[in-house]
A and B are shown apart, each in its own frame.
Chain A
Amino acid sequence: MDGVTAPLLALRGVTKRFGGLVATNDLSLDVFPGEVHALIGPNGAGKTTLIGQMTGELRPDSGQIRFDGVDVRRLSAPRRARLGIGRTFQITQLLREDSALANVAMAVQAGQGHSFRFWQEVRGDASLREAALMALDRVGLLARASVPVAALAHGERKQLELAVALAQAPRLLVLDEPMAGLGPVESQAMTGILAGLKGHVAMLLVEHDMDAVFALADRITVLVYGAAIASGPPAEIRRDPKVLAAYLSEEMG
C-alpha cells in the first residue's frame, strides 16, 4: 500500500452500458496484494455488473482490466480463474446434489490440471480428500463434510461457498455479499473467518453489512450509479460528505 507495490488487480476507466443505461461509469480501482478492499454502494449502483466484468462473465465496453500486470479484458472466466481470481456468488452456486466435501473436492480437482481421467474413482482419491477437508476446516465446516448441500442451512452454504473458493488457492478473492441472508450470529462468525484470511489473500469485498465492512476493510470504495464517488481508508469514508449524502445515514451506523 505504499506507492511502490504494484496493484494485484487494476481497473482503469472501465465503462459498461446496457442500451441507454450506464452500469459502470469510467471506473478506476486498485486492489493490492494482501489487502481487503471493500466496495459499497446503494442498490442498483452497479456492483454486480462490476464483479461480472472483473471475473469475466461480462465484457466492458471500454477501459482496462489488469491482473498481476496481465491484460485480462479478453480472457474468458475460466481463464481468469486459473490465473488466480476466485469468487463467491451472492446466490450460492453449489452442486446441490453433492456433499460439502464433494463440492470442495471439485475445486481442488480443478486446480490439479485437466480432468480427462476416466478410470480412477474420485471417491478414493486421497489427495483431493485431504485438501478438501483442510479447506472445510478453515471455514469451520469440518463436522458437516459429508452432508449434502441440499440439507445445509443457508449460513452453512455461504461458508461452503467460501471454502470452495479458498480451495482454489486464489490470489484474489472476489466476495459477492458473503453476509447476504445471514443472521447476526452467523454474520459475526463469517466476519471472523474472513478476518482470519486477512493478509494471506487479497480480497475485494462487496457488502451491505457495514459492521463487517468497517471491521475488515483496509480501504473502501463507494459506488453510486456506476461511478466511484469516494475511495480511501474507512475513517475517511465515514466522514466524507459526498458519501453521507449518497447513502441514508442509518446504513453507516
Chain B
Amino acid sequence: MGEAGLRVRRLLPWLGLAVLFAVPVIVQRLGMPSLLGLATRIVIMGLAASSLNLLLGYGGLVSFGHAAYFGLGAYAVGILNAQFVSGDPLLGVIPGTDELAVTLPVAMLVSGAFALVLGALCLRTVGVPFIMITLAFAQMLYFLFVSLKAYGGDDGLLIRRPNVLASLNLRDGATMYWIAASCLVAYLLVCGRAMRARFGRVIAGQRQSPRRMAALGIATYPYKLVLFGMAGMGAGLAGALMANFSRFVSPDMMHWTQSGDLLIMVVIGGAGRLWGPLLGAAVLIGLETLLSGWTQYWQIVLGPILVLVALSGPGMRRRIGWTA
C-alpha cells in the first residue's frame, strides 16, 4: 500500500467518527428527520452488542443471557424515576432521581454487580452447559420483573419525562443521539484499550488455548469474571440510554429473544472487531425496519439467513475478513 493509501487508512477512523457525530445534521439536510430515531436506536443497540462482543468476540464466551443486563440498566432508570415521581424513597431509604448523571452510573453499577454475581456462577462451567446457564439466569430475571406489579410487571413502565442532564433536554432528538453516541465511543475506547493491554492478552489467550494459559501459570477465572463485569456494565449503560430514549421499560428487554438479537448483531457485524457490533446493529435493525414494512412474518426470512450465515462458519468468515 502506498504512502497515500496508508494515510487514508489512518484517517478512516477519524472520518468514521466524524460521520457518526454528524448524523443529526446529515439527517436534517436530507429532510428525513425520522431517521434520527432509527439512528439513535442503532447506536444504543450497538453499544449493547459491543458489550456482548467483549464476552463473545474477544473472550470466546457464548453468553446467551446478555439482555438481562440491558434490561437491568433500563429498570434502574425506570425504578429510580418512578420513585422520583411518587416522592417515596426506594425500600424506604434510597431516594428516587431523574438526574442522568446519577441514573447512568447507578445503572452501570447495578448491571455490573449482577454480572459479577451471575458470572461467578456461570463461569464454573464451560461449553454447552455455560450457554444454557446464562440463558436460564436471564430468564429468571425476566420472571422476576414480570412479577413486579409495582413497576408495571408484564405491561412495563412508562417514563413520562426523560432524565435531565444540566440544562440539556433529552427529549430533543439530536441531544439524545449525541449523548448515546458519546457513550458508545467512550465505552469502545476504554474496551479497545483494555483489549490491547495485558488484560486483553490474557482474554485472547484463554480463548485460543485454555490449556496453554494454564501451563503458563495463569488462572483465567478472575480475568473472565472481570470481563463479565465490564460487559455487564456496558449493557446496563445501553439499557439506561434506551429507557431514556424510548421512555418505556419492560421485561421484554430482558427476554431471551433480545439476547438472541444481540448475538446476531455481534456475529453479523464481525465478532472480535471493535466496531463490528455497531455495524451488526445497523444491519439487523435496518433489515427489521425494511422487512417488517412488507410483512409481519419477516422473521421467516431472517431465520434461514441466520442459518446460512452460521453454516458459512468462522473459517469462511475469517477468510473474507469478516471476523477478527
Q: Do A and B come into direct contact in the complex, CB within 8 Å?
A: yes
Q: Are A81 and B193 in contact (CB under 8 A)?
A: no
**Would you list which residues of chain B between 67 and 99 have a CB under 8 Å from chain A?**
none
**Would you list which residues of chain B between 245 and 281 have a CB under 8 Å from chain A?**
none
A111: which B residues are within 8 A, CB to CB?
217
A168: which B residues are within 8 A, CB to CB?
216-217
Please judge, given known A-B contacts A106-B216, A110-B217, whether A97 and B199 are in contact too, CB under 8 Å: no
C-alpha gap A94/B324 in the complex (Å) = 17
Q: Are A116 and B226 in contact (CB under 8 A)?
A: yes
Render B172-210 as a binary contact track against A, CB cut-off 8 A, 1 for contact.
Answer: 000000000000000000100110111111101100110
Please judge, given known A-B contacts A115-B199, A119-B197, whether A96 and B208 are in contact too, CB under 8 Å: yes
Interface status of A123 (Cβ within 8 A of chain B): yes
Please judge, given known A-B contacts A95-B209, A121-B196, whether A115 and B201 are in contact too, CB under 8 Å: yes
Q: Are B196 and A123 in contact (CB under 8 A)?
A: yes
Q: Which of B197, B205, B208, B223 contacts A120 (CB 8 A)?
A: B197
**Would you list which residues of chain A between 63 and 112 have a CB under 8 Å from chain B?**
76-79, 81-82, 86-87, 89, 93-98, 102, 105-107, 109-111
Query: How many chain-B residues does the 8 Å CB contact rule pick out?
Result: 27
A127 to chain B, nearest CB (A): 11
B245 to chain A, nearest CB (A): 29
Q: Which of B198, B201, B215 contacts A81 (CB 8 A)?
A: B215
B214: which A residues are within 8 A, CB to CB?
56-57, 76-78, 81
A173 to chain B, nearest CB (A): 11
C-alpha gap A119/B199 in the complex (Å) = 9
C-alpha gap A33/B247 in the complex (Å) = 69
Q: Are A120 and B198 in contact (CB under 8 A)?
A: yes
C-alpha gap A76/B219 in the complex (Å) = 9
C-alpha gap A102/B196 in the complex (Å) = 12
Render A39-81 as a binary contact track against B, CB cut-off 8 A, 1 for contact.
Answer: 0000000000000000111000000000000000000111101
B265 to chain A, nearest CB (A): 22
Q: Are A86 and B215 in contact (CB under 8 A)?
A: yes
Q: Are B218 and A110 in contact (CB under 8 A)?
A: yes
Q: Are A118 and B216 in contact (CB under 8 A)?
A: no
C-alpha gap A33/B213 in the complex (Å) = 25
Q: Are B194 and A118 in contact (CB under 8 A)?
A: yes
Q: Which of B197, B211, B213 contacts A117 (CB 8 A)?
A: B197
Interface status of A145 (Cβ within 8 A of chain B): no
Interface status of A122 (Cβ within 8 A of chain B): yes
A151 to chain B, nearest CB (A): 14
B187 to chain A, nearest CB (A): 13
Q: Which residue of A lies closest to B195 (CB)?
A: A118
C-alpha gap A96/B60 in the complex (Å) = 14
Q: Are B198 and A117 in contact (CB under 8 A)?
A: yes
Interface status of B9 (Cβ within 8 A of chain A): no
Listed by A's residue number, 16 A-B pairs whose Cβ atoms lie within 8 Å are A57-B211, A57-B214, A78-B219, A81-B217, A89-B211, A89-B212, A95-B205, A97-B324, A105-B201, A110-B216, A115-B202, A118-B197, A119-B193, A120-B198, A121-B193, A122-B197
What residues make up the interface of B, taking CB atoms closer than 8 Å to A? 190, 193-194, 196-202, 204-205, 208-209, 211-219, 222-223, 226, 324
What residues make up the interface of A, taking CB atoms closer than 8 Å to B? 55-57, 76-79, 81-82, 86-87, 89, 93-98, 102, 105-107, 109-111, 115-123, 164-165, 168
Known: A119-B197, A122-B196. 8 other contacts (CB 8 A): A93-B212, A95-B212, A98-B204, A106-B201, A117-B199, A118-B193, A118-B199, A120-B198
